[in-house]
Amino acid sequence: MKIISILGSTGSIGVNTLDVIARNPTRFKVVALAAGRNLPLLKRQIDTFGPGIVSVIDDEHAHQLNEMLGHSATVKILSGEGGYREVASWKKVEMVVSAIAGAAGLSPTIAAIDAGKDIALANKETMVMAGELVVERAASHGVNIIPVDSEHNAIFQCLAGHNRKEVKRLILTASGGPFLHLPPKQFAYIKLEDALRHPNWEMGRKITIDSASMMNKALEVIEAGWLFGMDVGSIDVCIHPQSIVHSMVEYVDGSVIAQMGVPDMRGPISYALSYPERLQGAVDTLDLCRVGTLEFMSPDCAKFPALKLAYEAAGKGGSAPAVLNASNEVAVAAFIEDKIGFGDIPLVIKEVLDSHQTREIGSIKDVLEADGWGRIKAGEIVEKRKIS
Ligand code: MG
């Protein structure tokens, strides 16, 4: 029985993780949950799974949850970053599913690593912001990081049983998102609801917008570099609209190993939770004859500048990827609030990166400073570009 804690239990990854756990009650037990503001869903999760500890975004929500649960509840209710860190390091837990979206996931993930918990990593921002520190810290605590992100989980599977020294190239697949075939001139008219309509994957808002701009893939390139110890120059992106091939590894002899499956996040989640074993019937059977055609094409970097920005930021190293991530979070939030257009998102990020003096990163404090700087700068640029 593996004892599990979930950071981000009411988000898309959290809900799918609980579904996997519910279907495998003899293998997994969840004892700790961290959520944000979705109290009705968190209450249902508490009633169903009976965790010993939960944490929510702030004191006010903790108070409301307490009222909702009534006095007979035995669950310990915490709040804020301290609460998240406690959920991440809760004594009996063996594996922490890190699925809080954005930079907010960094601190609790670090707490889990420091407490020696294995990590099922869905929060890519942790690796983008602080990859080098996270990898070092995980190694020194003997912690395994198993990727949940479908592409990285695929690469993890394609690497199993092979000699890492014989890897030539990682190939991340990307669906291309809803605007793959939209002419660039139309980008100015993209509405929030258009960007939220992803063709293949059901995901949270932030990651769905990131998929539409291809920033999600951009962040994934940086994430893959740290997770697999590869230079980003040896990581390519390939558009594959069917999302059946979840990513590939090319070896020195020209062999390419691909991992395939139906697009269902319960696949990579199941593999991460049960690794090195596989769960019976984790997702539906893939019928390639019914799928019929698999297409692959190069990404259009002129239409989707995010990819180029990520390679640039990764090349600069140090604080640049954290600044890239921070400015993206601010720009996406501004787009959601209708302050800037969809096409402005990469322009804001580029302007922030161009005005950033790259610094070395020696500690989490340095990472958070770079993140803070990026947010302020991006906020200023958003104000200048604001649609009146
Ligand atoms: Mg992904």
| Residue appearing with tokens 């962040």 | 219
**All domains of the chain, ordered by start, with CATH?**
2-147 (3.40.50.720), 152-259+286-385 (1.10.1740.10)
Report the separation in Å between the CA atom of 12 and the middle of ligand 1, taken as the mean of its atom positions: 13
Rounded to the nearest angstrom, the distance between the alpha carbon of 308 and the centre of ligand 1 is 18
* Distance from the alpha carbon of residue 352 to the mean position of ligand 1, in angstroms: 25
The pLDDT, as a whole number, for residue 199 is 74
Q: Which amino acid is at 35?
A: A
For residue 154, the CA-to-ligand 1 centroid distance in Å is 10
* CA 329–ligand 1 middle distance (angstroms): 17
How far is ligand 1, taken at its centre, from the CA of residue 207, in Å? 9
The rounded Å distance from CA 146 to ligand 1 centre is: 14
Question: How many A from CA of 212 to the centre of ligand 1?
Answer: 12
147 φ/ψ angles, rounded to the nearest 5 degrees: -70, 140
Chain position carrying tokens 């009146």 = 388
How far apart, in whole angstroms, are the C-alpha atoms of residue 312 and residue 57?
34
The pLDDT score that the predictor gives to residue 216 is: 94
CA distance 171 to 151: 9
Percent of the residues in the chain that have a pLDDT greater than 70, as a whole number: 99
Which residues have a beta carbon within 5 Å of ligand 1, which is an ion? 149-151
CA 349 to chain centre: 19
Q: What is the pLDDT of residue 385?
A: 84
CA of 58 to the centre of ligand 1 (A): 29
Which stretches in the chain have pLDDT values below 50?
none
- Residue pair 68/45 in contact (Cβ under 8 Å)? The answer is no
pLDDT of residue 388: 58
